[in-house]
Structure 1
Amino acid sequence: MNVKRFTGRTSRDALNLVKQAYGDDAVVLSTRPCAEGVEVLAMAPDGMQQIERAANHAPTIRSAAAEAPAAAARRRDARIEERVEPHIDGEAEVTGDVGRLGMSTLSFQDYVRERMLKRRKAEMAPAAAPAAPVPAPREAAPARAPRAEVRHDLRLEPRPEAPRRRVPPVLRDEIRHAHPPFADTQARLSMHDEELHAAARDSQLDMMSELRSMKGLIEERFGALAFMERMQRNPRQANLTQKLLDCGFSPALIRKLADGLPADALDETAWASSVLERNLLAAEHEPALEDAGGVYAMVGSTGVGKTTTTAKIAAAFATKHGAGHLGLITLDAYRVGAQEQLRTYGRILGVPVHTAHDRASLEDLLDLLSAKKMVLIDTAGMAQRDNRTRELLDMVGHRAIQKLLVVNASAQGETIEDVMLSYQAKACRGVVLSKIDEAVKLGPALDALIRHKLRVVGVANGQRVPEDWHRLSAQSLVQRALKAAPAASWRMDANDVNLIFTGVQGIGARGTHA
């Protein structure tokens, strides 16, 4: 007989291989899962007939069922899983089985099955004369009936339960399925490992974020305690801080000034004023725009006074050098009546106003007006966050054009900061502060100019042309900013100052470590 092992992804695939090898009458010995899927041990139909013939020729041995019930009970309690051994010569029987069944080709499991069949047949045979006298049997409990009394059909139970199941050895002639599922299993394991690694990475990132937040909170608390302690030890720093904060300067600039306040300074306000004047760039020592000449384009957000500033500079130039050396160009084709406003000023000055709709027409006008000593270009007012702002800056990006950024001095500090960044203030010739007569606090505008290191080329403090066009020095601007007197509802006390500075310091710490 020849037992073969068939493997497939499913039991149906393995049984199909068995049918292809031995036909529909093949004898299936065992089925179990394996690494390739399902493993089936089977043999040809004539192999089962050989086992039956071998079982019929085996000697008949009676069991010791007639033994005393008490002794049988003790033996059953001592060896529950062990059956009654037949009185045969074990060594001779095993040797005969090996020679007769061909152990070289029969698996260990088939050998055990053959031994069990012999034991069952011996137990079912009629009791023979015992070798030793047997005492009179007592009535046995029905619940402890021996298993040998139950009959089993060989054909109905091809695989009886063995006392100890052992894994059969792998035979040499095995048939494997064409598509083992090992690759799919390995791919699923790889995907599972990647998901575990991704979850671990996410957990580490969350932990790092929590640690950064905790670090920022600790630095904020300690910074608050240190700031309040320093203010309590040095009341002059506290007074300077509150004074500058009321004037509208940023907490970052105030903190630098407070930290640099010398101990021997007699007046902290005068010392801060001198520091601000040295850091504020003004064009007081340079020639005025109307005297220097050139091509200038007024840029800025909506409603800051670009057209009025253009008219003021044009009037100042025409008064000194005459209207024949002046050229006016407008690019404001978006607002209704915007061109008419500048044309009105041009008619008053006796200067024609030209209109350019694109960069090509602007370059043609610049060539036409190249003989003029000063050319002023009025641009359309656009919000700093408008998508067309970039197009406007590209349009006036000619190498001969110098841009002047017009900033509303009465705007909030954050708005001025956003305008300077959007209109690329560092690439401009200078800054014109407009509407300083409307500004309650001039500190935010001067603070932005100091931090961005921009030059103030002029200021406008009204609607009159050209009377409200001035060139102020850094000292005049700083003194004007320090004279600001906020309303009582907007004035801060010491507790509010501590709260603002500790909050800003904590935010800066979190932003640095984020």
Structure 2
Amino acid sequence: MNVRKFIAATARDALRKVRETLGPDAIILSNRGIPGGVEIMAVAARDMELIVSPRDSVRPPGGTDAPAGGAAPELTRGADRAATRPAEATLRKPASSWRPDAEVPLPAATARPLTDAPPGGEGTSAAAGAAVVPAAVMDEIRSLRRIVEQQLAGFAWGEVARSEPVKTEILRQMLGAGFSPRFARELLAELPRELDAAQALAWVRGRAERGMLTIDGESDIVDQGGIYALVGPTGVGKTTTAAKLAARCVLRHGARKLALVTTDGYRIGAHEQLRIYGRILGVPVLLARDAKDLRATLHDLRHTHMVLIDTMGMSQRDRMVGEQVAMFRDSDVRTLLLLAATGRGDTLDDVVRAYSGLGLAGCILTKVDEAASLAASLDVVIRHELRLYYVSNGQRVPEDLHLPNRPYLLHRAFKDLPESSPHRLAGVEPGLMMAGGGEGMLSVGGQRG
């Protein structure tokens, strides 16, 4: 194998030399930092046959070669192409777009009818053996690919850290706080280079605040009135939030201006908690079992200032979510999705997607007092362009329900982790996270080569 060494000031320059010398199909074997630059060891794609020998993969058990011009040589060439195909992505795609767990497609020759093989058991077994790349070879290729991906991500992170240290520090803080790589890339894409760390953090927070949709005191739904349904997964606080909104409405407009409706007729005693709140507030509580019943109930309450609908809690993956969507689809009900601030970002994304068919009017953020960070929840709210109506930070009714204060919420979201925190990112860990989050470090620091 003719292994070549390439040295350059940056990883991008070294890769360009590899491409010019060995071609776009070159395979990178290793890379490391050296004083003053980067060293990459690479080999041409044509030398791949020294790693995966065609003879080893197609030789029949008896040791005889397949007939010339038969199916076995053609299948061998297909197997070689399948074995080398993962390595081609080394230079054709950035490290962040690699998928180490992706299956490498088998060559089309595997579908060749057995009648094309020469007569006899040995020919058939040779063709079958040549049609599949050995599992050990594929595992080795995937392992090399993962190693190269991590190495290049580390180099890219180091290069960006040297050229734009402020941006990389803000990126580390955002990823450590719980923001998604995609949201971090979008916020940092236009960060001015001349800012110091404090100014850059203020700039990023300001941009996030401008993208955050909220209501103010003049848009409080308690004063505007209407029909609102509170939806969301189990345990997010729908019934308690309905009681808080009901208490606010009664305090401002009186009990006659409000009605409570529940659609949770499945669980034993599910609506009893809401009935208890209704008796305390002097507000009627009605049960709607299906869409027809709900339409009739809302027709009777059409002159009521405000109607709050408490719904059944369920997993966002439950099939009954679709039934709930259908129940509110043909009515004048505005839906508010409750999101727990303690949830993971990917789980909250799943919840928003499940209830998006309702045409959400906005959301309410609950359990703010229990969350160590608000980064993940605000990330989801901003990316999905959900209007934040209220923030709940306790169990007290109605004291623990507030209109959103954007500066306070973003201050908590961007709060950096202490040095002693086991969740604080260090070294090249932010770069490895960005490598698996889309376009990778190239879209955060510098420009593409």
Same fold (TM over 0.5): yes
The Cα shift of 1:437 comes to: 0.5
1:499 aligns with 2:432: yes
1:219 aligns with 2:95: yes
Among 263, 268, 278, the alignment partner of 1:336 is: 268
Distance 1:271 1:506, change over 3 A: closer
Distance 1:206 1:401, change over 3 A: farther
Q: Return the alpha-carbon distance in structure 1 between the equivalents of residues 328 and 90 of structure 2.
A: 49
The secondary structure found in structure 2 opposite 1:283 is coil
- Give the alignment of 1:15-94 within 5 angstroms: none
The Cα shift of 1:254 comes to: 1.6
User: Contact between 2:431 and 2:441, CA under 8 Å: does it hold in 1?
Assistant: no
Among 390, 398, 401, the alignment partner of 1:469 is: 401
1:229 aligns with 2:162: no
Q: Return the alpha-carbon distance in structure 1 between the equivalents of residues 239 and 409 of structure 2.
A: 23
- Give the alignment of 1:146-157 within 5 angstroms: none
Q: Return the alpha-carbon distance in structure 2 between the equivalents of residues 408 and 304 of structure 1.
A: 6
* Number of residues of Structure 1 aligned to a counterpart in Structure 2: 314
The percentage of aligned residue pairs carrying the same residue is 38
Aligned residues: CA RMSD: 2.9
1:281 aligns with 2:157: no
Deviations 1:460-488 (A, max 9, x none): 11101100110023222111212364661
- Give the alignment of 1:296-307 within 5 angstroms: 296-307=228-239
After TM superposition, the structure 1 stretch with the greater mean CA deviation from structure 2, 355-364 or 251-260, is 251-260
The residue that corresponds to 2:374 in the other structure is 442
The Cα shift of 1:500 comes to: 1.7
- Give the alignment of 1:233-244 within 5 angstroms: 233-244=163-174
The residue that corresponds to 2:9 in the other structure is none
Deviations 1:109-155 (A, max 9, x none): xxxxxxxxxxxxxxxxxxxxxxxxxxxxxxxxxxxxxxxxxxxxxxx
User: Contact between 1:403 and 1:429, CA under 8 Å: does it hold in 2?
Assistant: yes
Q: Return the alpha-carbon distance in structure 2 between the equivalents of residues 205 and 384 of structure 1.
A: 44
1:348 aligns with 2:280: yes
The residue that corresponds to 1:191 in the other structure is none
1:254 aligns with 2:254: no
User: Contact between 1:433 and 1:460, CA under 8 Å: does it hold in 2?
Assistant: yes
Segments of 5+ residues of structure 2 without an aligned counterpart are 1-70, 97-148, 443-449
The secondary structure found in structure 2 opposite 1:298 is strand
Question: Which structure has the larger Rg over C-alpha atoms?
Answer: 1
The residue that corresponds to 1:269 in the other structure is 201
User: Contact between 1:409 and 1:436, CA under 8 Å: does it hold in 2?
Assistant: yes
- Give the alignment of 1:116-127 within 5 angstroms: none
The Cα shift of 1:258 comes to: 3.1
- Give the alignment of 1:411-450 within 5 angstroms: 411-424=343-356, 427-450=359-382
User: Contact between 1:281 and 1:455, CA under 8 Å: does it hold in 2?
Assistant: yes
The residue that corresponds to 1:86 in the other structure is none
Q: Return the alpha-carbon distance in structure 1 between the equivalents of residues 370 and 421 of structure 2.
A: 19
The secondary structure found in structure 1 opposite 2:208 is helix
- Give the alignment of 1:183-202 within 5 angstroms: none
Q: Return the alpha-carbon distance in structure 2 between the equivalents of residues 227 and 412 of structure 1.
A: 26
The residue that corresponds to 1:489 in the other structure is 422
Counterpart residue identity of residue 332, structure 1 = D
Q: Return the alpha-carbon distance in structure 2 between the equivalents of residues 319 and 462 of structure 1.
A: 19
Distance 1:358 1:426, change over 3 A: closer
Counterpart residue identity of residue 256, structure 1 = E
User: Contact between 2:167 and 2:188, CA under 8 Å: does it hold in 1?
Assistant: yes
The secondary structure found in structure 2 opposite 1:494 is coil
Counterpart residue identity of residue 311, structure 1 = A
Q: Return the alpha-carbon distance in structure 1 between the equivalents of residues 405 and 399 of structure 2.
A: 18
Distance 1:319 1:335, change over 3 A: same
User: Contact between 2:217 and 2:403, CA under 8 Å: does it hold in 1?
Assistant: no
Among 446, 455, 460, the alignment partner of 2:392 is: 460
Distance 1:327 1:423, change over 3 A: same
Q: Return the alpha-carbon distance in structure 2 between the equivalents of residues 403 and 323 of structure 1.
A: 22
Distance 1:408 1:218, change over 3 A: closer
Q: Return the alpha-carbon distance in structure 2 between the equivalents of residues 508 and 333 of structure 1.
A: 51
Deviations 1:21-57 (A, max 9, x none): xxxxxxxxxxxxxxxxxxxxxxxxxxxxxxxxxxxxx
Counterpart residue identity of residue 321, structure 2 = T
User: Contact between 1:426 and 1:452, CA under 8 Å: does it hold in 2?
Assistant: no
Q: Return the alpha-carbon distance in structure 1 between the equivalents of residues 81 and 237 of structure 2.
A: 50
Distance 1:203 1:375, change over 3 A: farther
Counterpart residue identity of residue 235, structure 1 = P
The secondary structure found in structure 2 opposite 1:281 is coil
User: Contact between 1:405 and 1:425, CA under 8 Å: does it hold in 2?
Assistant: no
Distance 1:495 1:330, change over 3 A: same
Segments of 5+ residues of structure 1 without an aligned counterpart are 1-194, 510-514
User: Contact between 1:242 and 1:494, CA under 8 Å: does it hold in 2?
Assistant: no
Q: Return the alpha-carbon distance in structure 2 between the equivalents of residues 216 and 393 of structure 1.
A: 45
1:379 aligns with 2:379: no
TM-score norm. by structure 2 comes to: 0.64
Q: Return the alpha-carbon distance in structure 2 between the equivalents of residues 389 and 421 of structure 1.
A: 11
User: Contact between 1:297 and 1:402, CA under 8 Å: does it hold in 2?
Assistant: yes
1:317 aligns with 2:193: no
Distance 1:505 1:325, change over 3 A: closer
The secondary structure found in structure 2 opposite 1:254 is helix
The residue that corresponds to 2:175 in the other structure is 245
